[in-house]
Amino acid sequence: MDADKQKIKSYYNLPTWLLFFVSILNIVSKKITTNFLWYLFTRPLKFKTPSRELNFYNKVTSSKFYSEYIQKNIEVYKFPQKGIKVLFIHGWSGRGSQFYKFIDYFIPEGYDITVFDLPAHGKSESNRSNLPEFTDIIRDLEKSQGPFDVVIGHSMGALACLNSIRLGASFEKVVLISLGAYRINPIFTGFIELFNLPSDFYVERMFKKLISEKGKNPIDYGPEQFVSKIKNHTLLIHCEDDMEANIMISESVYNDMENGKLFKTKGLGHRKILGDKEVIERIIKFIEEDN
């Protein structure tokens, strides 16, 4: 557990001044502290798009899509073909272009490809988002631009994918890469502990804030609550060396599922897995095979 906390701290790399500021804020006002933590929690980190992903934008057609569910515009990228329809969903602090390697392999297969930037990510609007928004945008896209035969999600995008199915989205096959969580509490707890604050106290307050503002209970979004009811044919792929999402997450979901398959990798971590030839070929095999 201590090692996991250290991984989270290394990922966020919070400056000393911010930790000091939050500690003072905690003394002054618990309500203001809660609001500030929620602001930080819902604001993804921004990373420069690496040069290896830039050619992605030359291969796809880009357009704006207004989501009625969340009332935000998102950037959608399409490579229309006449084959199997595939929807890609990236993770927290990611972007659609992270699937550039998949595009290279999927185009010759004739797949009809849709990728998008989640709210507050990539070229989509807003600076803040959350898991319920992720889930709702998938439902909106599935409703207006589907049906999709296959959905492929990475990390928190994979978690949102499962929740979209829970709420009615329909996909014949599901691929979950580096699934981001099995239970929701540890996500909040790990974040609060970054600031050396009492986690139980502030997690409860953040839960209440989301429920009051959005009418969404975070607990409901944990796969342990519902994944046993999902019947879709599902392939889970996870690296044993993933430093951001423990492989036990995918193992737990696999054990709960009725129609799941689990493929474990080594040496690929949390993001390199998206560009691995063996992983992509395994997914293509899963898509093409009869169940």
Identify the pLDDT of residue 255: 96
The DSSP bridge pattern shows strands 233-239 and 260-265 to be: parallel
Q: 153 and 72, same structural domain?
A: yes
Identify the pLDDT of residue 46: 81
225-267 pLDDT, tens digit per residue, is 999 999 999 999 999 999 889 999 999 999 999 999 999 999 9
Q: 116 and 21, same structural domain?
A: no
Identify the pLDDT of residue 11: 54
118-148 pLDDT, tens digit per residue, is 999 989 988 899 999 999 999 999 999 989 9
Largest Cα span, the chain: 61
Q: How many domains does the chain have?
A: 2
Q: 136 and 8, same structural domain?
A: no
Identify the pLDDT of residue 12: 59
Among residues 171, 139, 194, the alpha carbon closest in space to that of 9 is found at: 194
Boundary (domain end) residue, out of 168, 199, 220: 220
Q: 132 and 108, same structural domain?
A: yes
For residues 131 and 181, give the distance between their C-alpha atoms in angstroms, rounded to a whole number. Answer: 11
Q: 156 and 56, same structural domain?
A: yes
Identify the pLDDT of residue 6: 46
Low-confidence ranges of the chain (pLDDT < 50): 1-4, 6-7, 10
Helix and strand counts by DSSP (H, E) for the chain: 11, 8
Q: Per-residue b/e over 164-189, b at no fewer than 16 CB within 10 Å? A: bbbeebebebbbbbbbbbbebebbbb
Q: 127 and 8, same structural domain?
A: no
Residue 120, domain CATH: 3.40.50.1820
For residues 108 and 146, give the distance between their C-alpha atoms in angstroms, rounded to a whole number. Answer: 21
Q: 109 and 76, same structural domain?
A: yes
Phi-psi region of 228 (alpha: psi -120 to 50; beta: other; left: phi over 0): alpha
Q: 148 and 62, same structural domain?
A: yes
Q: 153 and 137, same structural domain?
A: yes
Residue 116: its H or E element: strand 112-117
DSSP string, 218-262: GGGGSGGGTGGG--SEEEEEEETT-SSS-HHHHHHHHHH-SSEEE
Task: State which residues form the domain around 208.
Answer: 1-41+184-220
Boundary (domain end) residue, out of 198, 220, 242: 220
The DSSP bridge pattern shows strands 72-79 and 61-67 to be: antiparallel
Q: 208 and 70, same structural domain?
A: no
Q: 101 and 17, same structural domain?
A: no
DSSP string, 31-95: HHHHHHHHHHHTSPPP-PPPGGGTTHHHHSEEEEEEETTTTEEEEEEEE--SS-EEEEE--TT--
Task: Please say whether the beta carbons of 121 and 129 come within 8 A.
Answer: yes
Q: What share of residues in the chain are helix, strand, coil (percent, to 5)?
A: 50, 20, 30
Boundary (domain end) residue, out of 220, 242, 271: 220
pTM recorded for the entire structure: 0.92
Task: Give the CA radius of gyration of the chain.
Answer: 19
Q: 124 and 264, same structural domain?
A: yes
